[in-house]
Amino acid sequence: MKMLSCKEATRLVSQGLDRELAFGERIALRVHLVLCAGCRNVDRQLSFLRRAIRRLPASVDEPSR
């Protein structure tokens, strides 16, 4: 199995929020995340942003000027 680059890993982290990753993709990503603190941080940050956005109301008024 080829080790993912950080670019490939962050792409999979992002795609994993929108679709189910294939078995090989999940395994390769997990191995990369175990070894790479930077990509673990990206994973946590994207997950946090996804949760925060889901909690926003459906319509947000524009701030008054």
Q: Are 36 and 44 in contact (CB under 8 A)?
A: no
Q: What is the number of domains present in the chain?
A: 1
1 within a domain of the structure (yes/no): no
21 within a domain of the structure (yes/no): yes
- Average pLDDT score over the chain: 90
Measured CA distances, 49 to 37, 55, 65 (Å): 18, 10, 26
CA 38 from centroid of its chain's CA atoms: 12
15 within a domain of the structure (yes/no): yes
42 within a domain of the structure (yes/no): yes
Segment 22-27 mean pLDDT: 96
Segments forming the whole domain that contains residue 27: 6-54
| Per-residue model confidence as pLDDT tens digits over 30-43 | 999 999 999 999 99
Q: What distance in Å separates the CA atoms of residue 51 and residue 65, rounded to the nearest whole number?
A: 29
Per-residue model confidence (pLDDT) at position 65:
60
The set of residues, in sequence order, having a beta carbon less than 8 Å from that of 36 and lying 6+ positions away, is 6, 9
Query: Tokens 């997990």 label which residue?
Result: 30
